[in-house]
């Protein structure tokens, strides 16, 4: 837990301007306004000031000054995060890594690339394409999100079922510690001796250090890739088909699902040719050699039909394949066209529970009086329900938050967890008390203290204070008891 800073805003800015271009030490409210939130715009806070260093040495000096003066630091990439993980601290510094945007080196023989954290996800694959390579994880925001943020949140994407999350696709990370030291975690090799600190750092949400360089693995581009699109007349059949494909021995490059609301919104937006009368849609991509793709495509089509698909269509060209994925990757902005606001959740469940959870979610939708659209990574059970609401209607945001909390708690109840790739941030801190007990949360705090003794890195995010958890559980118990009593007298 941080204490009150030992230095004023003016003194802090003066120290930073001694080694950072004064134009990139931002202190006025108007210029700082874009930094008040990340993609989770419902949670906002203005920072004390913003700095944009451009060398590792400058990052080190920023961290040393902040550590000595008990000033909180929130590292920020492109600001596309969806859990308020990069929301500023009102008494702290936003450390923007926007200037760290160089691809340092691509090694086609080792199939790896060294990158600064501000490199966009898609830019990696674009640069590697000349060698017949690409970077596997592809979040829907890949055109804008950066590799540093991907490491912070352990991002995935539509192809993570076969090719893994960020943690499975990086070799090493260089980071600056809270005290201003530079350390490298991982190595050029596929494995390192000792504890797997690289996995610990990946997904740590800026709580343990500031990433200044990332070495990623690159993959050879598949010879062929085709998509089977299957429509179903119920969510139950669509959910069952997810497990059916994988139990049949097919590991798709991507396996995505959309419900009726998302199908229509995405098709209106992208004109992808989706079956608009379907209640559930699966996009199943198979990649590899021509021979194995043709074999698996035939098997996938047969499995979908046997499991009740009302329509099955396979892409016949690269352009058609790209269009089918365009609809899926455009689903979030597409839903924005049918509602003034939406709240994007992120929980993960066992695949066998997909139909059950989507059915319960529809019941919750009626209970809370709010529509919900589902578009998600079905292959690994990573849900992304979009709760549609209007922030201008009094009480609707609070009702939306309650709906979101209920979804996350349902994910835990069926054996899942409260996040798959968006992180905990501010948004899901309360649900950490549902996912973990006090002893487990204390372990998180102990790890945090080992890396950041003064507690200056992204305070208040990711891991809640134990006292807060106990208060939250007490309130939840009282609410459940009240609901039970109301039901008994109803």
65 and 135 in a common domain: no
Whole-angstrom Cα Rg for the chain: 23
* Final residue belonging to a domain, choices 153, 186, 220: 220
CA nearest 208: which of 467, 445, 464?
445
H-helix or E-strand containing 213?
Answer: strand 210-217
Alpha carbon distance 233, 311 (integer Å): 9
Give residue for tokens 């049918």: 338
Q: Identify the pLDDT of residue 484.
A: 40
359 and 236 in a common domain: yes
pLDDT by 10-residue block (mean), the chain, 490 residues: 83 98 98 95 94 98 98 97 96 98 98 98 98 96 96 94 96 98 91 87 97 98 97 95 92 95 95 97 96 95 97 96 94 91 94 95 96 95 96 95 97 97 95 95 96 97 80 58 42
Q: Identify the pLDDT of residue 320.
A: 97
72 and 131 in a common domain: no
368 and 311 in a common domain: yes
Q: Identify the pLDDT of residue 487.
A: 36
Q: Identify the pLDDT of residue 479.
A: 56
Decide if 51 is inside a domain. yes
User: Domain range for residue 138?
Assistant: 103-220
Q: Return the number of other C-beta atoms located less than 10 Å from residue 18's C-beta.
A: 10
Alpha carbon distance 112, 114 (integer Å): 7
Q: How many domains does the chain have?
A: 4
Decide if 489 is inside a domain. no
187 and 177 in a common domain: yes
Alpha carbon distance 288, 297 (integer Å): 11
Q: Identify the pLDDT of residue 488.
A: 37
H-helix or E-strand containing 471?
Answer: helix 466-489
- 138 within 8 A of 165, measured Cβ to Cβ: no
* Final residue belonging to a domain, choices 60, 75, 96: 96
Q: Identify the pLDDT of residue 475.
A: 60
| Beta sheet of 341-344, edge-to-edge order | 311-314, 224-232, 280-288, 254-259, 372-376, 385-389, 341-344
3-class DSSP state of 85: coil
DSSP letters along 334-385, please? HHTTSSSEEEE--EE--GGGHHHHHHHHHHHHHHHT--EEEEEBGGGTEE-E
92 and 43 in a common domain: yes
Decide if 460 is inside a domain. yes
Query: Which DSSP category does 140 fall into?
Result: T
Q: Identify the pLDDT of residue 40.
A: 85
Give residue for tokens 């329509």: 311
DSSP letters along 283-314, please? EEEEEESHHHHHHHHHHHHHHHHHTT-SEEEE
Domain at 414, CATH number = 3.40.462.10
Joined together, the tokens standing for residue 384 give 């992304």
Q: Identify the pLDDT of residue 105.
A: 98
H-helix or E-strand containing 124?
Answer: helix 121-128
- 171 within 8 A of 190, measured Cβ to Cβ: yes
Q: Which residues of 217-250 are buried (b: 16+ CB within 10 A; e: fewer)?
A: bbbeeeebbbbbbbbbbbbbbbbbbbbbbbeeeb
Q: Return the number of other C-beta atoms located less than 10 Å from residue 276's C-beta.
A: 12
295 and 392 in a common domain: yes
355 and 266 in a common domain: yes
Q: Identify the pLDDT of residue 1.
A: 54
255 and 403 in a common domain: yes
437 and 324 in a common domain: no
Domain at 27, CATH number = 3.30.43.10
**Phi, psi angle pair for 386, to nearest 5°:** -110, 110
157 and 88 in a common domain: no
166 and 69 in a common domain: no
Q: Alpha helix locations (H) across 227-289?
A: 235-247, 260-270
* Final residue belonging to a domain, choices 70, 96, 122: 96
Close Cβ partners of 139 (under 8 Å, ≥ 6 residues apart): 121, 145, 150, 155, 156, 157, 421
Give residue for tokens 């596997």: 136
């Amino acid at each position: 837990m941080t204490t009150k800073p030992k230095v004023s805003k003016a003194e802090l800015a003066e120290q930073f301007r001694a080694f950072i271009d004064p134009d990139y030490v931002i202190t006025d409210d108007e210029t700082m306004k874009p930094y008040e939130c990340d993609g989770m715009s419902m949670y906002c806070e203005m920072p004390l000031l913003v700095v944009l260093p451009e060398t590792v040495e400058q990052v080190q000096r920023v961290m040393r000054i902040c550590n000595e003066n008990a000033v909180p630091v929130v590292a920020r990439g492109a600001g596309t995060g969806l859990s308020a993980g990069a929301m500023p601290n009102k008494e702290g510094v936003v450390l923007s890594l926007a200037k760290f945007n160089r691809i340092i080196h691509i090694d086609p023989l080792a199939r790896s690339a060294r990158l600064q954290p501000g490199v966009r996800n898609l830019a990696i694959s674009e640069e590697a394409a000349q060698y017949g390579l690409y970077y596997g994880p592809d979040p829907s925001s890949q055109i804008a999100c950066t590799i540093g943020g991907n490491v912070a949140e352990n991002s995935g994407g539509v192809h993570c079922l076969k090719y893994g999350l960020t943690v499975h696709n990086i070799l090493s990370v260089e980071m600056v510690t809270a005290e201003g030291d530079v350390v490298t975690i991982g190595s050029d090799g596929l494995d390192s001796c000792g504890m797997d600190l690289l996995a610990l750092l990946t997904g740590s949400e800026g709580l343990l250090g500031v990433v200044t360089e990332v070495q990623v693995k690159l993959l050879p581009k598949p010879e062929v890739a085709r998509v089977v699109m299957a429509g179903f007349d119920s969510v139950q059949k669509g959910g069952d088909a997810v497990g059916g494909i994988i139990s049949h021995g097919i590991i798709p490059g991507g396996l995505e699902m959309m419900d009726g609301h998302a199908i229509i919104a995405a098709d209106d937006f992208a004109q992808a040719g989706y079956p608009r009368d379907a209640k559930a849609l699966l996009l199943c991509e198979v990649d590899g050699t021509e021979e194995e793709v043709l074999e698996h495509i035939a098997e996938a089509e047969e499995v979908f039909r046997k499991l009740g698909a009302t329509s099955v269509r396979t892409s016949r060209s690269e352009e058609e394949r790209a269009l089918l994925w365009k609809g899926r990757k455009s689903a979030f902005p597409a839903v924005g066209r049918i509602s003034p606001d939406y709240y994007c959740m992120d929980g993960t469940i066992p695949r066998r529970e997909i139909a059950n959870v989507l059915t319960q979610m529809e019941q919750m939708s009626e209970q809370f009086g709010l529509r919900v659209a589902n578009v998600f990574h079905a292959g690994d059970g990573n849900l992304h329900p979009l709760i549609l609401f209007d922030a201008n209607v009094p009480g609707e945001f609070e009702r939306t938050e309650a709906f979101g909390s209920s979804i996350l708690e349902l994910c835990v109840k069926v054996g899942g967890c409260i996040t798959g790739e968006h992180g905990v941030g501010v948004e899901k801190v309360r649900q950490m008390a549902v996912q973990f007990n006090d002893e487990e949360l204390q372990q998180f705090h102990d790890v945090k203290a080992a890396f950041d003794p003064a507690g200056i890195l992204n305070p208040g995010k990711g891991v809640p204070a134990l006292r807060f958890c106990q208060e939250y559980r007490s309130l939840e118990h009282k609410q459940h008891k009240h609901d039970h009593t109301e039901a008994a007298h109803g």
